[in-house]
Amino acid sequence: MPVTGPFSIIDYLGLRLRYVDTTESWGSSYLVHVMHAAEAIASGKCSIALATLAGRPRALGARTGTVVAAKGIDAPEAQFELPYGPTVVGLYAMSAMRHMHDYGTTSEQLAWIKVAASQHAQHNPHAPLRNVVTVKDVVESPLIADPLHRLDCCVITDGGGAVVVTRSEIARALRKPAVRVRGAGYATKHTMGGRVDVASSGATWSGPRAFAEAGVTPSDIKYVSIYDSFTITVLITLEDLGFCANGAGGRLVADGNLISGVGRLPFNTDGGGLCSNHPSNRGGMTKILEAVRQVRGEAHPAVQVKNCDIALAHGTGGALPTRHGSATLILERI
Amino acid sequence: MTTTSKTAMRDIPGPVPDPEMQPWWDACKNGQFLVRHCRKCGENHFLPRTICPFCFSDETEWKTAAGTATIYTFSVMRRAHAPYVLAYVTLDEGPTVMTNIATSDVDAVHIGQRVRVAFENTDTGQKLPLFAPI
């Protein structure tokens, strides 16, 4: 609850709590809240935890991607960055530009990420963008910040979500299939004292930590929810998590490989941020929700991954080419 | 290093300098781009800090950069009233810094291009460093 703070929802629900975690990691906060909830439960601080998110950026007229709040951000880096007009799209566009330069990644390859999201969104009645699009549609949509086009960008939507985390003996007694947090990893990445690297993310470190804790490898994962503020965010994250080598992401995502029932790595089967949701401009919560649906077998039948016993959800909070928190959860059916 | 009025692509909002960084902003008024140098580990860093982000020593000092750099990455903000170029440039002294590329030909900007610092007025009167193609 970034705008109102935690006490609004605590008051609204009438809760009397003995433990609260309000860790701020921007869009990846909600994956972190699940990690911290699991740790708090394991250490006996609480037995049932609720993680929430709600926000109405669309109703409030946000133009998050293309307008910079030039003043009033009280951070040491603000004076060295805000005067230059670093829009959110512009920042991620610089990642895409460099990735293309270093590895030959193309706009058409990035477009495949949006195509896959739209193939999934057509089955989600809550998605605002339900029309299936083609690679041509994406690369011919207006340039917002070179090389990113309008259809490389996520939606601005109102919405929210919630996750309940509890002890396994309580979870097993509930009516819903239980999903276990098998592994979790977190990392931060920033401008590194000026050794800026815009073509990779903190997933480089959060991924291996999560995989090590879970005792699995990328090849074991049946479904991925990947934070998709922009198409390039997905491509870089998949590389950093180890689904392919750095630089090979363009080939990984192309030709429908992310489409459920078609490709080998189905992703964001709710339509993701690219077509469906980005409540409060924070996509982390809905990444968890769709991964849970997949592991429970409760996704839309048209996009449900067969035998989806293990899934990964990943959040990128902040801005990939400046500073951000990367959070990875590995979830399994029990 | 020159001060030029030909480089502005838009009205630039002035920075809000913090006290630790005031010498850096004062140097801009004199046409100098400073980086922070660590006497302990020998590294230059940016954004400047009193504590070195590489070795955590407090034996740091200001160093005047040559003002020449290479474009590391960039993007043209096509939705702005007047399109402008957001960029990271790598200073010859090492650190990569966020900036704008000051040019009337945004479509000619490319990674690897050599650029030189130029100081532009902002809406507060504070000089701000941009980088222009050499």
Q: Do A90 and B77 touch (CB under 8 A)?
A: yes
Is pLDDT above 50 for B80?
yes
| Residues of chain A neighbouring B75 (CB-CB closer than 8 A) | 90, 93-94, 96-97, 145-148
State the average pLDDT for chain B: 92
As a whole number of angstroms, the distance between CA A199 and CA A240 comes to 10
A76–B21 CB contact, under 8 Å: yes
- For residue A72, the model assigns a pLDDT of 64
Name chain B contacts of A145, Cβ cutoff 8 Å.
75-79, 86
- Helix or strand holding residue A108 (H, E): helix A107-121
pLDDT of residue B6 exceeding 50 = no
pLDDT tens profile B26-55: 999 999 999 999 999 999 999 999 999 999
- CA neighbor of A277 nearest in space, from A139, A149, A172, A125: A125
The residues facing A246 across adjacent strands are: none
Chain B interface test: which of A73, A84, A87 (most B C-beta within 10 Å): A84
The DSSP call for residue A320 is T
Q: Residues of B with CB below 8 A from A89's CB?
A: 77, 79
- Torsion of the alpha carbons at B103, B91, B65 and B100, rounded to the nearest 10: 30
What are the two backbone dihedrals, phi and then psi, of residue B65, each rounded to the nearest 5 degrees?
Answer: -80, 160
Q: Please count the residue pairs, one from chain A and one from chain B, whose beta carbons lie less than 8 angstroms apart.
A: 123
B84: left (phi over 0), alpha (psi -120 to 50) or beta: beta
Q: Is the pLDDT of residue B120 over 50?
A: yes
Q: What is the number of alpha carbons within 13 Å of residue A88 lying toward its C-beta? A: 24
The DSSP string of A62-104 is --TTT----S---STTHHHHGGG---HHHHHHHHHHHHHHHH-
pLDDT (tens, 9 = 90+) of chain A, 334 residues, equals: 345 678 989 999 999 999 999 999 999 999 999 999 999 999 999 999 999 999 888 898 888 777 886 666 788 999 999 999 999 999 999 999 999 999 999 999 999 999 999 999 999 999 999 999 999 999 999 999 999 999 999 999 999 999 999 999 999 999 999 999 999 999 999 999 999 999 999 999 999 999 999 999 999 999 999 999 999 999 999 999 999 999 999 999 999 999 999 999 999 999 999 999 998 889 999 999 999 999 999 999 999 999 999 999 999 999 999 999 999 999 999 9
Q: Assign residue A67 a region: left if phi > 0, alpha if psi is -120 to 50, beta otherwise?
A: beta
> Is B9 a residue whose pLDDT tops 90?
no
Q: Cα–Cα distance between A1 and A31 in angstroms, integer?
A: 14
Pairing of strands A179-189, A324-333: antiparallel
Query: Does the pLDDT of residue B15 top 90, yes or no?
Result: no
Per-residue confidence (pLDDT) for residue B14, from 0 to 100: 84
Is residue B13 very low, low, confident or very high in pLDDT (cuts 50, 70, 90)? confident
| Record: contact A145-B16, CB cut-off 8 A | no
Which residues does A193 contact at the CB level (< 8 Å), separation at least 6?
Answer: B43, B45, B46, B52, B53, B54, B95
pLDDT band at B17 (very low <50, low <70, confident <90, very high): confident
